[in-house]
Structure 1
Amino acid sequence: MAGKRDWLDAGLALLAEHGAPSVTIERLTERLGLSKGSFYHHFKGMSGFRTALLGHFEAERTTRFVEQADAAGEDRLGALLKLVLAPGPGPELEIAVRAWALQDAEARAVQERVDRTRVAYLTEVSGDPDLARALYLIVVGAGQVVPPLPGRQLKNALELVLGRRK
């Protein structure tokens, strides 16, 4: 039987692949091969699921990154950049959440909180609010261009701003 996290992971995958309108009970049950009853065992409805999905996005793509970078010790900025550049969900998920935030007040509130948290953490680890904003804008912008900037080019851009380019 699928747990709550399985449903949320499937929701993030659908969101990244097809956008917020694609995240429906029907598509979720189809993706997981489960019944609607299983969905309702974990969530009271789509409204509750969407709230949980936004929380899961924030936990996976912000809180977890901060915790892992903090655990790295002295070079938290380097550890954070490795996490951002690591293989995994690409910019599609970030783009989908930002698009959702343009149309939904709850998604917008979460996106605003995520952005504030990320920039505040970058400021803390870099010691420079201007550098923090520049790094964040590069990462966000790299995902918005079509096609998104490949990981190597994103790494080069970040290193250029950090003065680490060889």
Structure 2
Amino acid sequence: MGSTGERAWLSAGLALLSEQGAPSVTLERLCERMGMSKGAFYHHFGSMPRFRTRLLAHFEAEHTTAIIDAVEAPGGLPARERLTRLMAEAIKNTGPELEIAVRAWAKQDPEAAAVQTRVDATRVDYLRKLCEEAGHATPDMMAKLLYLVLIGGSHVMPPLSPADKHRVYDLLLPLLG
């Protein structure tokens, strides 16, 4: 997705979003974080609305598509093994702050809401597919349950640690049958 320079700006944007929320993702703060000029920013993105669109796409690519691709990369793995790999990838890849920040942004912004809706649907659909392949009697509900642990575990105070999420998944995965 884009050049190395663009990726650096997008990574800085996700860091700001994660640390301070969507209102903090401003041209001034991005330039300060990057140690770059506004001209450098405009060279890559042209405008803040375009940057925000790209930032949302970057979030989706890095925190959904890339995870699914990593799980599927070995090819031919049984569904249960892919589920285990998925849980491990999702837990290590997604800090609670970023997920919370994107969801908060989605409550305020229609474009962010559309991306969050698509991300949730993609994640749950992939989980449903794996649960179905694993032979679960109600793959839709099991997929939602597994996803609720990931998302809900980020929203409780304090958030569930990665180790606690692994323990919860260790309890849930045998329910696949």
What does 1:66-81 align with in structure 2 at a 5 Å threshold?
66-73=68-75, 74=77, 75-81=81-87
Structure 1 position 146 matched with structure 2 position 152 = no
Whether contact under 8 Å (2:124, 2:144) holds in the other structure is yes
Q: Which of 12, 18, 21 does residue 19 from structure 1 map onto?
A: 21
Other structure's SS at 1:27 match: helix
The one-letter amino acid of 1:117's match is T
In structure 1, the partner of 2:55 is 53
Judge conservation of contact 1:91–1:148 (CA < 8 Å) in 2: yes
CA deviation vs aligned residue, 1:46-65 (integer Å, no higher than 9, x gap): 10000000000000000001
Question: Contact 1:58–1:110 (CA<8 Å) still a contact in 2?
Answer: yes
Aligned residue runs from structure 1 range 97-116, under 5 A: 97-116=102-121
CA contact (8 A) 1:97 1:111 kept: yes
**Structure 1 portions without partners, runs of 5+:** none
Structural RMSD (CA) = 1.5
For these two proteins, the number of residue pairs brought into alignment is 163
Shift of 1:85: 2.1
> Does residue 89 of structure 2 align to residue 83 of structure 1?
yes
Answer whether contact 1:72 1:79 (CA < 8 A) is retained. Answer: no
TM-fit CA distance, 1:163: 2.1
Structure 2: tracts of 5 or more residues without a match = 133-138
* Aligned position for 2:34: 32
Kindly report structure 1 stretches of 4+ aligned residues shifted beyond 2 Å: none
Pair 1:92-2:97 in alignment: yes
CA drift at 1:79: 1.3
Q: Secondary structure at the match of 2:108?
A: coil
What is the distance in 1 between the residues matched to 2:12 and 2:94? Answer: 12
C-alpha distance in 1, partners of 2:144/2:128? 8
| Cα drift, residue 72 of structure 1 | 3.3
TM-score (norm 2): 0.88
The aligned counterpart of 1:4 is 6
Displacement of 1:161 in angstroms is: 1.3
Deviation, 1:129, is 1.5
Amino acid of the structure 2 residue aligned with 1:106: E
For residue 89 of structure 1, report the CA deviation from its aligned partner: 4.8
Q: TM-score, normalised by structure 1?
A: 0.94
